[in-house]
Structure 1
Amino acid sequence: MEVPTVQILWVCSTDSAEFTQLSWALTHSSVIGLDAEWKPVRSSSSGGGHHESTFPAVSLLQIACRPSANSDNAAFPPPVFLLDLLQLPLPSIYELLKGVFTSPNVLKLGFRFKQDLVYLSSTFCSKGCDPGFDRVEPFIDITTVYCNLQIQRKEFSGRKLPKQSKSLAHICQEVLGVSLSKELQCSDWSHRPLSEEQMKYAAADAECLLQIFNVFQSKIDKEGFYSHWSSTSNPGLKQVLEVSNSCETVLRNNVCGASDMVQAVIPALAGCNLDTNAVGCEKSSAINEQMDLPLFHIVRKYGDKILLNDSDRKPKLSKKKVKRFSRGMTHKENLIQSADDWQGPPPWDLALGGDGCPKFLCDVMVEGLAKHLRCVGIDAAVPHSKKPETRDLIDQAQKEKRVLLTRDAKLLRYNYLIGNQIYRIKNLLKNDQLLEVIETFELKICEDQLMSRCTKCNGKFIQKPLTTEEAVEAAKGFQVIPNCLFNKNLEFWQCMDCRQLYWEIEESDSDFMRATFSVESGDWSYWQKKKKRNCLTY
């Protein structure tokens, strides 16, 4: 279910009928929802490693209005207005918008609207409206509404709810039970004309703010103007949503009595010193011209304001310094480059006192590569523990004189600890990884090496193959040999370390092994003709 929207009016000229309707709606509304859209701009770099960013120009301002209770057309909500800031003469609407943003009679709703206000202020300043917008009050962020609804549902639970942890789409889905699609959020809002889908998306973003607030106010009205929320009497969001359509009815029923009470109180307050700062306005009586008492109570209790200071109006400069090395590379780039490009020699090199037998240590990210290396007779170990620490990997590689194979770029920073003993695998597929290791380390693979190691534990096989009878005896209590193998006169091999049994498979049954190890290179052509040994559990 999508967010239902009322009529959408496109405002692109101050001489249009749409602008007249906008002016009337802004002066006869007690609550408005605000949102803005812009085309993101890339930051430009300057010398010395600094990156200077510029504020994007706002292309569209969305305003959804809820008429005040004493308005003649309160039963007929106005449309959502889409202000085309690329075509409207901004100086001509600056005073109108600034008056609404600061009017104590109009509650403004938004979702993390401070960034929008910064960009709006910058956009209007660029058109000569200096100093631009500097504040919005009274204001309620819709996340505050959501958190207060959640706190009542989870009162006394002892869990503090973060105010900035939910997206508007999530809040809309949970409170209204409707879907707010964000697919067009990053579309080009500077392109004209906007598509119908873009206009519906933009209008829904502003309209849903009013609908969520209506649910909130309906709940407060049901509990009473000045009572605290009760966890025992709170029916939860589901029940609130079932009666949310009656919000305006509930509001109107209370307004009649509230208005009479306010009118009776105002003369008595005329000669009193009223603390106007508590409600954030210059004249307390002005609130009652458009803001009814229930809404006034919400503003006094939950209202806030957005104030921009000088630092907010200036684009941020990134002062992060990066240490540069030769050839224009950063330290991290230089480190990765040196580890990716294998320099050698490996620790098993005879010139370094090694035994000439290649040995690798495959971390958890390339454990599958270890089995492939073992299939071609290469000594490939895995970490001793399932979740090894970096220090454990380094110690094992150093002690056993192995090259550590990994796809984790973070491990490359430890290359200085074990020089020429860390290599980052570039390929994703195991077959490609196998060929990459063979080519990078110039490994010589002969036919006698094939399937000379246990793919399970990296151990070596016994020298003499076992007969079927010997294999059955060796497998007792350890491994089950399929009955179909008994009459095929096969030879079996057993790992000297883990005692795992292997046997030859027919050529017709070796499609998997052929697909795994056959390559176009002529050096590997014999592999397709050779019988392979297969492990029952591998």
Structure 2
Amino acid sequence: MESDPLKIPVDIHLVSTVDSPEFTLLSYYIRKSTVVGLDAEWKPIRRDDSTSNSSSSGFPTVTVLQIACRCRPYPVGIGQTCVFVVDLVSIPATAVWEILKEMFLTPNIIKLGFRFKQDFVYLSSTFASQGCHPGFDDVVSFLDINNIYHHLKIYHSIKRTPKESKSLATICKELLNVSLSKELQCSDWSNRPLTKEQVLYAAADAYYLLEIFDVFRCNVTGGGSSLFYINTPNVSLGLKEILEKTDTPDNILGIKFCQASDVVKLNLESLSVRYSETIIWPPHGNVLPGDSLSKIVEIYGERILLKEADRKPRISKKKRKKQPDVGSRIQDQNEVVGNWEGPPPWDPSLGGDGCPKFLCDVMVEGLAKQLRCVGFDAVVPSSKKPEPRWLINQAHREKRVILTRDTKLLKHQYLIRNQVYQVKGLLKNEQLLEIIDAFQLKICEEQLLSRCTKCNGNFIQKSLSIEEAIEASKGFQIIPNCLFDKDLQFWQCMDCKQLYWEGTQYHNAIQKFINVCKLNG
């Protein structure tokens, strides 16, 4: 069973003001950290809006900085791992510049990141544009998660393997069995207030850097003993191991937005730190516990040093073909995707059969399953990276509307009117309701779960008995023994032959879509 990456088992603090307990806690945690995971979010520059979304240097402006801290032992009541989501739109850059700069330059703090140099360039540009000259230019004791993954593959392989460049989601899946959703990656990170989902998404990206480092540390040191803590069993376990332990409390995966003020009040005396002292820097005496971490930095660590060339945006030298009618064509397309004007290609007046059909590209692949669940024909490309021309040809041939979030596809020269719709929602339920509203789709309870969610095929109309289902499943699918003594109905997909039955998951899914689509209103 896959775990939910949003339900990370640590405290998450949103830091949005300087005079808040969360800011005090952030300062203290950074001072005591041995390892930190770093990530950043920004709003991409748009050609028609470059001045408002970028710093004066031409780089995107970082609006959110995630810092996952892992520290030496604390007094009772304070967690040793904590994630901070720092709102750089609300907090003045000058308030955190010195703290972050010293953290980057402190060799006794291991910094983790995933292809972090780009984030670091944007972060430096953002701070420089806000009066913190010259921004940042140096990070020591840095470990790139992509390199860690490569070293782990070599560690467990007899022969050397070529270095691969994989996404963080892929690495999390392979090492931690965590499916890291990237649905919110392209959301508007400059809009305030941040949603709860955005905060959780941002925190998860930084937190899992620590979990991956734990796997790496245990492998290269030849065991699972903790290098960070004293007399704290199980703290080095990854999320996968935590989930597999039978004695793990059910609420360990609860999302915790802890009150930082309560933590500060309860532990201020035991920490022997006054509010004014928590921002003293640099942290004297912050020594790595033991030689193992030092060895890891010595062998695998690297340094990010920005050069003058890194501070200048790269300008593509590729010549573009002149297209006199592009302006009017793009304008027409934007009008279409803004508010669908129809008629859609399946309309009988255009020679269609009247049945809505969609082609969901890889950016909205989850939407295809949602549409199938409520009874609509929705396919996805057979290739993970299909050519735009291939998508357009398939949509034209099968009289489908392409659903996408890819703005480049919207401007493709071979698109015709009413062939593509830009999905604006970020979450799958939001996207489903958006499509229902845009195309005025009619849904009834009878059509819920009437299509195969696996392949988009139709079900055999007559339900199967248990004997017929067992015969149909031979050599193909295993039916759990617990279903044999129950009076259940079975269905089989006419295309992929997948079997479905009327169990608890079926009834829960039916009720879910009744609520989402408001069919009981």
TM-score (norm 2): 0.48
TM-score (norm 1): 0.47
| Higher alpha-carbon Rg | 1
Say which structure, 1 or 2, has more relative contact order (CA 8 Å, 6+ apart): 2
